[in-house]
Amino acid sequence: MQSHVAAHGMAVAPHHLASQSALAVLREGGSAIEAMVAAAATIAVVYPHMNGLGGDGFWLIVPPEGDPIAIDASGAAGSLATPQAYAGLAQIPHRGPQAALTVAGTVSGWDEALKVSRELTGAALPLTRLLEDAIGYAANGIPVTASQASASADKFSELRDQPGFAETFLVDGQPPKAGSRFLQPALSNTLRRLTEEGLDSFYRGPLAEQLARGMEKYGLPVTLSDLQQHRARRPQPLRLAHRHGELWNLAPPTQGLVSLAILGITDRLAMADADDAMTVHRIVEATKLAFGLRDAHITDPRHLDVDIQSLLTPAALQPLADNIDDQRAAPWGAGKGPGDTVWMGVIDKSGLAVSFIQSLYHEFGSGVVLPESGIVWQNRGASFSLDPSHLLALAPGKQPFHTLNPAAAKLNDGRVMVYGSMGGDGQPQTQAAIFTRYVMQNAPLQESITRPRWLLGRTWGQTSDSLKLEGRFSAESVDRLRQLGHEVEVLADFSEAMGHAGAIVRHPNGLFEGASDPRSNGSAAGY
């Protein structure tokens, strides 16, 4: 179970073609950021059920020297997304035009990240080069993954009648078969237009006007003015001082707080010597406490009632750690549910590191494909509440809650690490599993990702909020967790429900180590 080690740079993605797109740019002297834009464009084409140009993105950029830079490329609710527009509904629909209620921020993130790259390196590869692979794959076809085939089949009944979906994502009215060739000519044209008109055209150019006409035609609550007002932001990243180094993640509206809080709580417990059952128990108990913080505080950053960074101080974390009972599981309510996402990492020869996530929220987002664009629009706005007194109450111009959170760390021994995973509620839990195994328990990097994982909360198509374990845990560990009071469900071995994780470590000797998830179609590619 070996990780891949390279001398000059490394890219990890949950689809091997995206890893290769990034690697090709690195070989041509591009920065880790430029390589990530290439990978982001490619994976939008080759993993179309998980992410796309109609979704959101978050970046965590760690330069070799100086402070990390975060980019929030997530969109706000459209100006027509008023509570009155949803009158009579108990909740926002998960599919259809009413679900497509926020601006898609992904492309603005690519644009902002390339500005950061130019600021840091003083150089730039042409956009045509960065999107070249993606344009080719969309025009000439991609091999349909089992993941895309099963998502298309599983969600067929709720997606087939959404505007534009059938002609874009079905073949002769049926879900595409795994291993078949799948073409996206409209998306290829859109990507080509972006190379000609510039990425900003998505928001303030001819492409924006085309998208807005489609939105009006299908009744989306997003307008041309909403697109024009959108800008990616550079918020201050959240920071955790850990015994093994400095950890970073994204600030609200993401749940980066949760990921750091779990590791901050467990840093105060004896994790180094914990066996499998106790490792899972402590991280799950920390997760419950961290989800409590999330549900109490995380919303649009303009509506926060507390300094989120203050929740990560020793004084805030120690009482939470003291609350964990090694003999008994605490009661548990409910999570936020699943999410489809891609996490990718790149580190280049200079040591510039990128941790990145882009997502549509649910498989194929809202299911609505805007005319002539090939772009399926996200349903991230479904995380808003229609209860006006709720922390996440819907309002035009408000950012929705995001599960997305890319992670990075600088360890005391000089290692730099980027890591993350897709998977809604599972993201912070998987991050904790990887970091704990690799950094605190000294497991090899690839083994830390391959080992069986767990998920507290709901997965795709399930309503139970139980503790779900992959089938590869020992019977003794499963029994022990049940004895501690956990409601345990055992899933299949290498279940996709556990997310697609990945990690890259730059070692003090300058070598790069990468690991990808056998649950995905990914690879770690270096040179």
Average pLDDT along the chain, 527 residues, taken 10 residues at a time: 94 97 98 98 96 97 96 97 96 97 98 98 97 98 95 96 98 97 98 98 98 98 98 97 98 91 97 96 96 86 88 97 96 65 95 97 96 97 93 94 91 97 84 97 97 83 77 96 96 89 97 95 95
Number of neighbours of residue 217 by Cβ within 10 angstroms: 12
- Residue 333's identity, in one-letter code, is G
Cα 502 to Cα 516: distance, rounded to the nearest angstrom: 5
DSSP codes, 279-290: HHHHHHHHHHHH
pTM of the full predicted structure? 0.96
**Measured on CA atoms in the order 20, 25, 29, 31, is the torsion positive or negative?**
negative
Bridge partner list, 504: 418, 514
Structure tokens, 305: 């009632």
Radius of gyration for the chain, computed over Cα atoms and rounded to the nearest angstrom: 21
Cβ of 446: how many Cβ atoms within 10 Å? Answer: 21
Is the preceding peptide bond at 253 cis, omega within 30 degrees of 0?
A: yes
Q: Which strand ranges, in their side-by-side order, compose the sheet holding 69-73?
A: 69-73, 56-62, 353-361, 340-347, 10-13, 523-526
Say how many residues make up the chain: 527
| Residue 117, CB-side half-sphere exposure with 13 Å CA sphere | 25
Burial class (CB in 10 A: 0-12, 13-18, 19+), 87: exposed
pLDDT of the residue at 247: 98
Give rounded-to-5 percent helix, strand, coil for the chain.
Answer: 40, 20, 45
In the numeric block, which tokens belong to residue 468?
């779900």
**The pair of three-digit structure tokens given for residue 323, joined into one six-digit string:** 């609350």
Residues labelled catalytic: 341
Say how many Å lie between the first and final Cα of the chain, rounded: 20
